[in-house]
Structure 1
Amino acid sequence: MSKRKYDTGYLKYGFVQIEHRGEVVSQCLVCMKTLSNSAMKPSLLKRHLETNHPTKKDQDLSYFQRLGEKAKQQRIDKTGAVYQSSSGNVKASFEVSLLVAQNMNAHTIAESLIMPAAKILIRNVIGVEAEAKLSSVSLSNNTVKRRIEEMSIDIADQVVAAVRSSKYGFAIQLVNRITVKSDLQATTKGVDIFNVLNDFFKRNELEWGKLVGCTTDGAPAMLGRKSGFQAHVKAVSPNVIFVHCFIHRFALCAKVLPPNLLACLYRVVKMVNAVKTSALNTRLFKLLCEDLGSQHTCLLYYTEVRWLFRSNAT
């Protein structure tokens, strides 16, 4: 029987080629399972991906290319399986990095606190031999940073893939103008905001025709009928429905609160401003919070212009 040859197009199904006992076989980049040479068919590779990894079937080619680069950096034995010890160490590194990210701690905490604490626990509960195994788990500042970035990219890829494969279209929300402006180089006109979003659509192969709704704030650059962001979006996708930010409705409701609730709100605002308008009061307030063991030690300054902080202050 003639041997099948690997085609680079198989990468879109999540498979790369490896050599096993002198024979070229395909290896899944998701589960690291190897298939025989006879299974090196597009239909069989696709079925493996859809059956065993349904959440990955809509991933784009760049996702599997990144997995392929990671696989090259890992130790692969002749059977194509990652060594269990190496796999466990990498998994532990990712899970600890996830905890660091979820708790919004500095990346150095993994190496300076979590690892020493884990070694103390293992040494006293299990033994010195088990403690030595922890040394192979990488939790350096750079490693934790890289793990968090990789997880962020993976989440973004999954979201984009889900949006791209949606049968009913998708909606976007552009409310935080600070986030939008962070990607702009100079001006923040409607056309500049549109160009940033348009580049994102092209880079991720998203279609403007599938955009069904868009929520924006009340800035002129967003809602301008002639040169605003809304006008540029309508030019490429006329059926898009624009909705005003729902937080503005909350702000309007806050202005007509019942007298007893409104008095309480103003009292809180007055106390917050009393702390924030004085540098001395701010420092004293911080010391008070630290003495009480509070996780947060500062207040958000409230003004009528920055009305959004009213809800945060209360």
Structure 2
Amino acid sequence: MTMDHVEKNIKKRKYSEDFLQYGFTSIITAGIEKPQCVIYCEVLSAESMKPNKLKRHFDSKHLSFAGKDTNCFRSKADGLKKARLDTGGKYLQHVAAVEASYLVALRIARAMKSHTIAEDLLLPAAKDIVQVMIGDEFVMKLSAISLSNDTVRKRIDDMSADILDQLDESTDLAKCSQLLVYMNFWRVLSRSGDFKDEFLFCKPFETTATARDVFDTVGSFLKEHKISWEKDVDLDFNVWLLNESPKVIRTHCMIHRQILATKTLPQELQEVMKNIVSSVNFVKVSTLNSRLFLQLCNDLDAPNNALLFHTEVRWLSRGKVLKRVFELCDELKTFFNQKATSQPHR
């Protein structure tokens, strides 16, 4: 018997309410329905979705519950469903609480903070604010938001599983051309009903990076995820798209024009940029200099304590470099005076 045949048979086994007499409810894991014990919350394999196997588990581990009626197990099953995150759980029925949980998880991921910060700091702080500003009766609504470590991790995994739509090409320092795709979508379930921008996917070009290659790469991704071209209404794309979706709106990307402008800087600005990059490199390339500059910034209560490297990647990193140097201008001057270096700087 092949593995595909075994998996097919497993998926056909369905949960029955009669299994509740043995203390079992159901849970969906990776698209497969499995029996879950309501007493110890133990999840058995899909092959155990049989009365004789469930009864054997009950008799061997929970014989003390033999005199309990079905209502006792049903009450435990309801409590279990309220606490878990699978699609069959009652928790997902609270749309507002779930949306709030996703939004908090998104901010944690973007800030690269520990997942435990939500439950340890953010939720208690939010309750304190609501209690003081609005009233105790609204604090209970915040208690419905699940922000445990596992919940935040699952939310982040869920949001990062599939992302889509506006596209452009980026070249990294290893000379590897990559296609970055972003999407702008209308959040139907959001109470604010606004548009949202998110990163979709990134795939490298193995050989050439022509317009046809871009079209084929995006088309392959859409086909893989069963997304029709007809659902796309606005793309920064090429003429091949019109054959797939004649009603699509084509938008020209503005980033390339900004990059072209940076290639024609006046000589004075180029000299300033050269000196700034040289100064930053003097600090950053040396581990000792980096530590000394970090300590100096901390001693002077600077707004930041580290400089940023400038790279020639096609994105506009120089703007962030210049902004950070401007913020730490006084600290840099003090550092170079202390080092008494002959390295060129301004």
TM-score by length of 2: 0.42
Greater helix content? 1
Q: Which has the higher contact order (CA 8 A, sep 6+)?
A: 1
TM-score by length of 1: 0.45
